[in-house]
Structure formats: structure tokens, C-alpha cells
Amino acid sequence: QVQLVESGGGLVQAGGSLRLSCAASGSSFRLNAMGWYRQAPGNQRDLVAYITNGGSTNYADSVKGRFTISRDNAKNTVYLQMNSLKPEDTAIYYCNTLSRQWYWGQGTQVTVSS
């Protein structure tokens, strides 16, 4: 079973930046479209951005123009560069395949202060 380990979260002021990383074990990473998801307290876990195995990307309207997803198949890692952060971006961030087929990791907390 593939294991996912997210990192890079933290506390940042509004307008700041963070870069999240998600490392996956196993050889099937490169075959899958990968997504970044986030879940704020009391909310469902929503898709924020995804990248196909061919490198095409798509973003939720709420983050378009501020977040950039990328991947390094040689390192089995997907990244999320987050700029111009807003307090409403505060959440736990997770990665998974676009079909959510792997077990979830522990996530990484992002807190944006106003």
C-alpha cells in the first residue's frame, strides 16, 4: 500500500508563502494524477489542485493565480507552492490521487494569520 507523507506547513501571515511537499512510496506514483486537498474544521475535504501524469494542472477558483502544483516523478513527490496566502486558506492539507484511492497521510497544518 502506498504511503503518503505531507510536510511544509506552518504559521504564516496573510500575504506570505509556503511550499508543501508530499512524498509517496511505491512505483505507481508516476502513473497517477495527483491532487492536493484541504480540510478546515467542520468542513469537508475539498480538492484544491491537481496535476495529471502528463503535467496538466487544474485549480479550484479560490486558489487560482495564487497556488501552483508541480510534481517530480523521479522523487515520487508532488508540491504545492502557495503564495499570497489568506486566512481562509487555513486548513490541514493532504495529497492523494485524483480518485482518492490511497490511504490518507497525516496531512500538514497551514495556518494563516490576519
Strands, sheet with 4-7, edge to edge from the N-terminal-most edge strand: 4-7, 18-24, 77-82, 67-72
Task: Tell me the H-state helices in the chain.
Answer: none
pLDDT digit string (tens) for the chain, length 114 residues: 899 999 999 999 999 999 999 999 988 899 999 999 999 999 999 999 999 999 999 999 999 999 999 999 999 999 999 999 999 999 999 999 999 999 999 999 999 999
Q: What is the pLDDT of residues 42-68, one digit of tens each?
A: 999 999 999 999 999 999 999 999 999
DSSP letter, residue 28: -
